[in-house]
Amino acid sequence: MIASLLRAHHDNMAHAGAEKTLAGIRRSFWFPTMRKKVYEYIENCLTCLMVNTSTQGTEGETQLYPLPKEPLKILHIDHFGPLQGSADNYKHILVIIDAFTRFTWLSPTKSTGTTEVICCLDKLFNTFGRPKEIVSDRGTAFTSKEFKDFVLKFLVKHRLIAVASLWANGIAERINRYLKSALTKLIDTPDGWKDRLGEMQYIVNNTYHSSIKSSPAKLLLGFEQRNHEDHSFAQFTRMLVNVDSNLEKERKISRDAANQATELIRNYNKKYHDENRKKPSQYNVGDYVLIRDMRSKIGESSKLKPKYRGPYQITKCLGNNRYVVRDIPGFNHTPKPLDTILSSV
């Protein structure tokens, strides 16, 4: 009987949550330890376990691998992309990082295939010698027979990280996150990344890393590499971040209760939301602003696309952090002038 009730009020009600299931059963039934049985049933519901997002902390502790004591013994490799295709059809970046010094090599590739990976590694081995170990994810370029034969030929150990364990190749993942941000600021057009890749490699290798208390170049080579005369960080565009008588009576009681509950929840959510938030910036008529770019085109990569567009001008303040935003007179960004109401939060 209890099992049938649970199925009727949980399974047959689109797998409602515990409190909704309890409320449904309580309308007509009662049985001992009702709350406990409902929670146990839902906690063991296979459908819910497969579909629901867990609100509990993720299980598992970070596993630390021994770091090398000298340069060029362990290399981390990964692909970054796909990006907007360059004029000569390059769409990816092969990222190779020395685990000890964090020195990074960035090579443009047309695909994520094995052939281009082997070509890049072969050049690196001929210049710096072969490493003892290579760490990569389980991309097809690194799990192919051709790649296995390549590392076997050079007597290099190949460590494949577990699926979805990005922390195991964290060195490469951190560089990829940095590349996404820095390249977006450095390039003028999304397809111009390849022309600035050498400069990007220089910047990565000659920037101080707190984890190694040095720049990668100085740690590997013993000296800072000579600076570019046209150091592009000075030219970066700064991104703003920034039915009866009883029915009417019962309906009024229900609505009043709902209003009270809603207000309590609203106040709780506001307090919880605002605890780690700073007050929104206040703007005035005439101020220039950037707005988040939510536009997208089919087939266009957004990895290196700026997150904001503009500048635009505030022409009216509406209150509650809302503003009328229009194109700057004489400087339309699109054929159709922008004239919209936006919120700053």
Beta bridge partners of 77: 96
Per-residue pLDDT band for 165 (boundaries 50, 70, 90) equals low
In whole angstroms, what is the distance from residue 25 CA to residue 322 CA? 45
Between 52 and 176, whose confidence is greater? Answer: 176
Lookup result for tokens 């030219």:
235
pLDDT category of residue 65 using cuts at 50, 70 and 90: low
State residue 233's pLDDT score.
42
Segment 122-133 mean pLDDT: 95
d(CA 240, CA 304): 16
Of the pLDDT bands very low, low, confident and very high (cuts 50, 70, 90), residue 57 is very low
Residue with tokens 């400087």: 331
Is the model's pLDDT at 203 over the cut of 50? yes
Q: Read out DSSP for 159-210?
A: EEPPTT-GGGGHHHHHHHHHHHHHHHHH-SSGGGTGGGHHHHHHHHHTS-BT
Per the model's pLDDT, the better-predicted residue between 336 and 272 turns out to be 336
Q: pLDDT value at position 320?
A: 67
Is residue 294 over pLDDT 60?
Answer: yes
- pLDDT confidence band for 289 (50 / 70 / 90): confident
More confident residue, 121 or 25: 121
Whether 51 shows a pLDDT value over 90: the answer reads no
List 314's β-bridge partners, or say none.
Answer: 325
Residue 7 has pLDDT above 80, yes or no: yes
Tokens 């503009």 sit at which residue?
A: 310
Higher pLDDT, 219 or 75: 75
The rounded percent of the chain whose pLDDT value lies above 70 is 74
Q: Closest Cα to residue 221, out of 130, 123, 102, 107?
A: 102
Task: Lay out the sheet containing 308-319: strands in order across.
Answer: 288-292, 308-319, 322-326, 339-343
- Residues 297-322 have pLDDT tens digits of 766 777 667 777 778 899 988 776 77
Give the pLDDT score at 301: 73
Per-residue pLDDT averaged across 8-12, rounded? 87
Query: From start to end of the chain, where are the E strands?
Result: 74-80, 92-98, 104-109, 133-136, 157-160, 288-292, 308-319, 322-326, 339-343
- The answer on pLDDT for 296 being more than 90 is no
Task: Measure the CA–CA gap between 168 and 61, rounded to whole angstroms.
Answer: 12
Mean pLDDT of 280-291: 84
166-178 pLDDT per residue, tens: 555 778 888 888 8
Cα–Cα distance, 250 to 180 (Å, whole number):
58
pLDDT at 64 > cutoff 70? no
